Structure 1
């Protein structure tokens, strides 16, 4: 899908041209072989529906409610989480330049919360020279030059859909966490993970492709583990990171709750059971985010050298299976990104393309063109 088509898409559903341009700039290129496909599958039934029901507003800009030298509370004004995320990370970066560390929280964010968790990998580490994103060409972030900040944390809460350990119902959302820190030569630590056993988008994608999922990802409405991904569109619930209690699922539940403390509780937004169902659009999502920026220049020198040493040490460990080398967070996404750039295109399943063509028809915009 071209940039022009993307802008017309958002204009038809309430976005202004400037906002559409910003949102496509915010979409990070990491994970082109997997996460791009996952997020594209969410576009028709969540992002577009949020806009069409008026519970996410594409015309607004975030505003600062209160702030100090190293903190701020931001009102997202029910705008896209990706737009709010960029605003908050920029604000945290500027504050941390002077204070060493800064924390910015945001409330009243729209239903497209997922991309908000990706900002440390794009904003904190290094300028991108080129790349791709879900629907369009990626615009590189401004360089932060030699004084750039280089360590960032991002958290976001989400629509409830992850089982609480020992419970029979969803306690939290997938509540993703992202942490980024640079090594030398743009070889960076880039952790991006859900606090559920798997991101909901992977189950949605398997459903769209008519594929089964590993047993242990999803619990059906009868409280039984299932390999059928179709339940993700109904009453099935994702397992927490770790799975069952015997396999330390309580740790995933604890991490999900930690994200709620940093996001919903700290910002005053909805949290856990107070967040509306993702299938009901009777009110704004009121999701929330937390962004923490650290300026290592105000700490011990040699941060990137030590980071690279840690990364190299992990990668150089002898693998249990010689055909599967030891990886560090960010390696799979870098591999996928390279494959997409080498091929010059992103491969989608025919059912994904069909879904997007139907959405394009609904919005009266040009569909993606196969290559």
Structure 2
């Protein structure tokens, strides 16, 4: 099936139009557009335009605040607790990461926990902000209780595309493993990273609990089964998020040189299959960005564009341009 090719600017403007139509503050619409477009541009379609309708529904129903700013409730030289004031996640995320970066510049490390937040797109968007200042950035959220958060959105994408999910991603309402995304989304749940115990799922379970502690327990937000299910807009989300910035210069000298050597070692490892290079985190994103630059836009599955244009019609805003297509 051919894919629609849409420029980054067209997607950005479309998101801003939709946000304005539901009464969002202008700067908040821009913040959301930046992180969603970046998600798609880097190949994380589960966290991009695909999720816009959830943000819009939260704003339309009044469950999520349309304007305002986050508030610092507690602060030390290296830490802070932030009240997100029920604003959209990107507004809270940008505020918190900026704060963590400033603290890391001042004292070497900044750790900021937020409560009263909402879904904030790809976590890497905020970590990369630290990278721009030659800092290490770490971000986590308790959006999906007891799982690595990204998998939940991938299941939504598979459901929208009419595809099966890989074994080990989810279970049905009785706890049995399933490859049907509908079964997972309607009464089922997500499995920890690794799947069942034999495949190392207990390690993913422990990792997920750590994320829950950092994102939920530490911030005083909702956690685990208390978090509202996906796509429900009948109550405030009150998500917790954690933002960490670290100055490597406060530790052993030569950090960047050793990191470069480490990545070189991994990329030079023997391939498991001919023609498949060994990748390190960030490499798949670079490949997707290169594809987007080659085509002059972001390739979208037609179902995603058609769905979002149906949302646009309901809001009375201009549709996403769909005059360009490429083969899959």
- Specify if TM > 0.5: yes
After TM superposition, the structure 1 = structure 2 runs for residues 235-274 of structure 1, keeping only pairs within 5 Å, are 235-274=187-226
Preserved CA contact (<8 Å) 1:33 1:339: no
SS of structure 2 residue aligned to 1:277: coil
- 2:131 is matched with which residue? 125
Counterpart for residue 77 of structure 2: 69
1-side partners of 2:272 and 2:148: how far apart?
A: 31
Equivalent positions of 1:47-196 (< 5 A) are 47-110=55-118, 112-116=119-123, 118-121=125-128, 123-126=129-132, 148-160=133-145, 172=146, 174-176=147-149, 194=150
Distance 1:239 1:106, change over 3 A: same
Q: How many residues align?
A: 314
Q: Give the secondary structure class of the aligned counterpart of 2:41.
A: coil
Over aligned residue pairs, what C-alpha RMSD do you find? 1.9
Q: Distance in 1 between matches of 2:24 and 2:154?
A: 28
- Higher RCO by CA contacts (8 Å cutoff, separation 6 or greater): 2
CA deviation after TM superposition for structure 1 residue 30, in Å: 5.8
Q: Indicate the SS of the match to 2:122.
A: helix
Structure 1 residues 334 and 321: CA distance shift in structure 2, 3 A? same
For 1:338, which of 256, 276, 290 is the aligned residue?
290
Asked if 1:32 corresponds to 2:41, the answer is yes
2:22 paired residue number: 13
- Sort the Cα spacing of 1:2 and 1:279 in 2 relative to 1 into closer, same or farther, 3 A: closer
Q: Contact (CA 8 Å) 2:86, 2:238: kept in 1 or not?
A: yes
Relative to the length of structure 1, the TM-score reads 0.80
Report matched runs for 1:300-311 at 5 Å: 300-311=252-263
**Following TM superposition, where does structure 1 have runs of at least 4 consecutive aligned residues deviating by more than 4 angstroms?**
none
Aligned twin of 2:160: 208
Partner SS state of residue 80, structure 2: strand
How do 1:227-242 residues align onto structure 2 when only pairs under 5 Å count?
227-242=179-194
**CA–CA distance in structure 2, aligned partners of residues 63 and 33 of structure 1:** 31
SS of the equivalent of 2:56 reads helix
Structure 2 residue runs of 5 or longer lacking an equivalent are: 1-9
CA distance in 1, matches of 2:80, 2:245: 12
2-structure distance, mates of 1:234, 1:331: 34
Segments of structure 1 that go 5 or more residues without pairing to the other structure are 127-147, 161-171, 177-193
Give, in angstroms, the shift of residue 215 of structure 1: 2.2
Matched-pair contact (CA < 8 Å) for 1:28–1:118: no
Partner of 1:277: 229
8 Å contact from structure 1 (residues 29, 337) kept in 2: no
What is the deviation of 1:284? 0.9
Write the distance in 2 (CA, Å) between the matches of 1:30 and 1:10.
18
C-alpha contact 1:118 1:154 (8 A) present in aligned 2: no
More helix per residue: 2
Correspondence for 2:313: 361
Give the TM-score of the pair, scaled to structure 2.
0.90
Q: Classify the secondary structure of the residue corresponding to 1:115.
A: coil
Q: Which residue of 2 aligns with 1:323?
A: 275
CA deviation after TM superposition for structure 1 residue 361, in Å: 0.9
In 2, distance between residues paired with 1:230 and 1:30?
24
* Aligned equivalent of 1:129: none
Q: 1:203 and 1:232 mapped to 2: Cα distance?
A: 8
